[in-house]
Structure 1
Amino acid sequence: MIGRPSLLLMTAAATALASIANAVGVASPDPAVPQTRLGVAIADDVDARDKTAVRRGRSLDLREQAIRAAEARLKADLETRAAPAGSAAPGVVAGGDGAASPDQFDDLAKIYQAMKPAAAALVLEQLDLDVQMRVAQRMRERSTAMILAAMTPKAAAALTMALARRQAPRPSYVTPAGVKPQVAKR
């Protein structure tokens, strides 16, 4: 009985060879086999998700840089205010109000004009409204428009109103008798 292999033994050997062949096929896919539409769609979605994650990371890095810069300015401002009144720090107008000189706003306007509008809008929204207005006044109109378009509607409206108030002449309400009437303030 040793001369003839059994049917069970031959089936077991064939099964073992088939499982080894399947393992090798799975481990090394054939590059010549085209992907399915589903595989391509999944790969595209993964790529899009990765690109979005990179954009978010850049945005967060930009915000962190803006926060660090604001902290440094606040620290410098506190040190300037703590200094004796006789010694004025560079970049501070000698008036005691701690306002920045006009060329600082010109420099900031140049910096924001050089940035991409979306990135500039993220940082500009974090600034004080007065600083936003002074920087925007010194920028080219097209750059200001593109940055306003990238800002949130609330921040863009606030900056627009500040710019409108600053540029509009104040009407004088003088009656014929020379008496100014009471005007309700908002």
Structure 2
Amino acid sequence: MSVLTDYFATGSDGVAATALDYVEGQPSLLDLPAEEVAAGKVLYRVAPHEATRPRVQVAQSGILVVQSKGVDPTCLARLEEILTGRPYNEVNADPRQATLIAPARNEDIDGRIVLSVTDTLRDALASLEPSAQAQVARRWASAEFDGAAEDSLTLFLAALTDLARRAVVNEDRLYCCVCF
């Protein structure tokens, strides 16, 4: 079973952690409008292959969310290696590489977590030229996934690059809410 991921940008770990908060009657940081949720359910029913492709949504909070299936933040280490030339082991040792932001304690994990994305990857994505995205996706697919993932990764990479550019402009960091 693949994990579902919602990539987003915000100004601090504290704000990112609120993506898991539930307040009675109030939308959380990443809650989508009801009509978007309903449309997504219909899409999964009538065109499941299309529904699994990366999508960009705007949460009720105004936060831009890149939704994907199967591209969890641990997979981003290889992408960062490809984009920056930084050795894979060094990327994995980065204190922000897929670090648990929420919940605060491992024993509180209950189906959803928020993980950090490195600032180095955010910056590399922000400077990635659109003309290079397909080639990077191809290299990433062959290194981390399989060749069949290339098209989906190209779409994901385009959306994540846009999110990273916005994050740099706003001096935000990137995060991922993982649902499993």
Superposed pair shares fold, TM > 0.5: no
Structure that is richer in helix per residue: 1
TM-score by length of 1: 0.22
Bigger Rg, which one: 1
TM-score by length of 2: 0.22
Structure that is richer in strand per residue: 2
